[in-house]
Amino acid sequence: MTALFLVADGFDDLQLFLPWYRLLQEGFTVRIATPGGQRITGLHGYRVEADTPISEATPSEYDLLVIPGGESPERLRLREEAVDVARTFMDADCPVAAIGHGPQLLISAGSLDGKQVTSARGICDDLRATGAHIVDVGTVRDGHLLTCRGNDDLPEFCKQLVSLLRVGA
């Protein structure tokens, strides 16, 4: 199975690396897609090499989409190719996992109306405006969508992520 991480500069380092390594433990192949296929830098200075530019990522080749938070989702939502990838995953009912500010990309994709989600507190008003139902707990699963509030909730998120993938397999 293969996971696609959509990431730009300013990603939250923990929100990228914890799920990435957890998926590797489960035997997943993990691919990193960035806006230009370039190396990116996280909020704490960690650098990550991209496997592909987002414009060349074909959603049907992946079993899971992961959107780490930080400043990255705000940058990604301004790029139509990233919005299109997120929308394609959501429309196809493929597993999608978004952490912290990650749901910002799903807001731009128009994919959260009627969905139960959690997120970083700073985007709750944006989520409400899209018709999402916000639940203030660490992780929320609504069908194929798994959301996480933030770094303190990553251990539970990773557990839920593995559970979501086992059910979907």
Residue in the structure block whose two tokens are 């991480």:
5
Residue 133: active-site member: no
Nearest Cα to Cα of residue 72 among 21, 16, 118: 16
Q: Which residues fall within 8 angstroms of residue 77, CB to CB, at 6 or more apart?
A: 83, 104, 105, 107, 108
Q: Report the C-alpha gap between 151 and 130 in whole angstroms.
A: 24
Choose, from 44, 101, 133, 144, the residue flagged as catalytic: 101
**Cβ neighbours, 10 Å, residue 50:** 18
The residues carrying an active-site annotation are 101
